[in-house]
Amino acid sequence: MKILVTGFDPFGGEAINPAGEAVKALPDRIKGAEIHKLEIPTVFHKSSDKIREAVRDIQPDVILAVGQAGGRYEITPERVAINIDDARIPDNEGNQPIDVAIQEDGENAYFTKLPVKAMVTAMKEAGIPASVSNSAGTFVCNHIMYQVLYMIDKEFPNMTGGFVHVPFIPEQVTDKPGKPSMNLADMTKGLEAGIEAIVSQAGKGDIKEVGGAIH
């Protein structure tokens, strides 16, 4: 099995993006699967163009994109991506789409087929706080998750893909009182555990486990 794992470059005035750093620290093999790591720009559409190039070169079985969700306490595998770009801030090239469809011929939403509940369970068993998320936002993280799932729907039906959000790391919150953080080593450990679950559950679907939210 080949897994393409992507992480974004820094954005929003930050000097570092923990998603990119955590991905770089992953081992090259996890539970027998080849791990291919790729940094992508925090730029609408350009990010998906870079993934498409890598997919054609690597031909992975799985695409797992990772992004930063500052303010979250846990690592959060995402369940769904929606067909809308609504940027609160500009991306790294100054683009700020508001209420724009990502793909005119795409579904209103795509649900991941990655075993997000098994991933959360594996992360917790590794001692890392985790939960299923039902909103990837409307910035470049949701954009890239949607683009990956759209690509799979239209071109690569035998591939699976999804997205995981990670919190800030401690050095990012020294000027953000009250904001939670997670150290980079734990973040990488959690991602590795989640990838182990992806490999273990391949062809089996997800586990049946409570993972919903009231709000």
- Any idea where the domains of the chain sit in the sequence? 2-200
Record: fold of 2-200: Aminopeptidase (3.40.630)
Contact by Cβ (8 Å): 30, 195: yes
Q: Is the torsion defined by CA of 165, 170, 173, 179 positive or negative? A: positive
DSSP 41-110: -SSTTHHHHHHHHHHHHH--SEEEEEEE-TT-SSBEEB-EEES-B--SS--TTS----SB-S-TTS-SEE
Catalytic residue among 45, 165, 192, 196: 165
Please list, in sequence order, all residues whose beta carbon lies within 8 angstroms of the beta carbon of residue 94, skipping any fewer than 6 positions away.
none
At 211 the pLDDT is: 78
Per residue in 87-137, pLDDT (tens digit) is 999 999 999 999 999 999 999 999 999 999 999 999 999 999 999 999 999
Burial class (CB in 10 A: 0-12, 13-18, 19+), 192: buried
Rounded to an integer, what distance in angstroms lies between the CA atom of residue 153 and that of residue 110? 9
* Catalytic one of 78, 143, 192, 196: 78
Question: Does the pLDDT value for residue 214 go beyond 90?
Answer: no
- The predicted model gives 74-78 an average pLDDT of 98
Share of the chain above pLDDT 90, in %: 94
| CA distance linking residue 164 with residue 75, whole number of Å | 7
Catalytic residue among 141, 143, 192, 196: 141
Q: Which of 137, 146, 134 is nearest to 102 (CA)?
A: 146
Entry field: residues in the chain: 215
Assess whether 165 carries a catalytic annotation: yes
**Average pLDDT for residues 17-43, to the nearest whole number?**
97
207 pLDDT above the threshold of 70: yes
Query: Cβ of 213: how many Cβ atoms within 10 Å?
Result: 9
